[in-house]
Structure 1
């Protein structure tokens, strides 16, 4: 799942980015409204975390939210603000925000609100993903196969989740990098292959076929249940 964090406070943006990254999300950061809107035009995001006060941006976060809503009505927007007045909250919600979080906040609450928004988003249905005996619950970020709990790292979870959300369709390595790693990723070229191998080992069970198929030259596939 890919998240865009729009926050002019560089230190806070980095704290949020690291917290989301450790939770398994791919995170891009923008410090101004124009750079945020440019990123939104280029990439597909599953959630936007948007600061209300963006110095140097006409209209601030409210205007950025309105602009986002002109092109996307379903992406969840979580607005951050130091202003706790009912009037400000109403204005933010009227501009298109789905939820509000007042600064300062605990990272645990931020992550809980992110999970809640992801569950409510249309693209997040169904709540529990099923295919080939694998069940993945986004609410608890847990996975099982044939009833057996599968321990996953944050990045393994992100890769498996994207494959399950696209069950029945071949997913390329580029698509997986776009959704499980952030825009600044410049690591190993075989990172997707490496994580697919990790997942195959963890999902393997005696007498059961591999969950993840390789379609050489195209990508990877988890077959949808018939």
Structure 2
């Protein structure tokens, strides 16, 4: 069964890179450039969520959306990988309950390894 990854990234060029990386590995990828409502994430049944911490123009930052999602839907075990170039990104990821954190810029092979591990 094809794995489905949601990528929430406000930079359209980086979003396109994510889509290319994952689709070359036969993952179905949904790209959003603004943070959706937590209900959308829960209803769609993704296998992995990757989101930037800073989402310009969005209602939520990635860490806020992660925290709300984890609190509102504790039975939903969809793993969340937060990404950021910010120096305190790992702290923000830990505080909001993210399953994993990666610094930007990222290594493609490392991203694929972590994504695969998170999806099981």
Tell me the TM-score range normalised by the shorter chain.
0.7 to 0.9
Report the Cα offset of residue 24 of structure 1.
Answer: 1.2
SS state at 1:33 partner? coil
Is contact 2:63-2:82 (8 Å) kept?
no
Structure whose alpha-carbon radius of gyration is higher: 1
The answer as to 2:93 corresponding to 1:92 is yes
Distance 1:21 1:38, change over 3 A: farther
Q: Which residue of 2 aligns with 1:115?
A: 116
Report the Cα offset of residue 26 of structure 1.
Answer: 0.6
Give distance in 2, aligned partners of 1:41 and 1:32: 16
Q: Which residue of 2 aligns with 1:82?
A: 85
Larger relative contact order, structure 1 or 2 (CA cutoff 8 Å, min sep 6): 2
Q: Which residue of 2 aligns with 1:102?
A: 103
Q: Which one of 24, 29, 32 corresponds to residue 30 of structure 1?
A: 32
Is contact 1:6-1:49 (8 Å) kept?
yes
TM-score (norm 2): 0.86
Q: How many residues align?
A: 116
- 5+ unaligned residues in a row in structure 1: which ranges? 120-226
Give distance in 2, aligned partners of 1:33 and 1:91: 17
Is contact 1:16-1:107 (8 Å) kept?
no
1:160-175 matches, within 5 Å, as: none
Give distance in 1, aligned partners of 2:40 and 2:23: 18
1:129-144 matches, within 5 Å, as: none
Stretches of 4+ aligned residues off by more than 6 angstroms: none
Q: Which residue of 2 aligns with 1:156?
A: none
Q: Which residue of 1 aligns with 2:41?
A: 40
Q: Which residue of 2 aligns with 1:49?
A: 50
Report the Cα offset of residue 43 of structure 1.
Answer: 1.1
TM-score (norm 1): 0.48
Give distance in 2, aligned partners of 1:64 and 1:17: 21
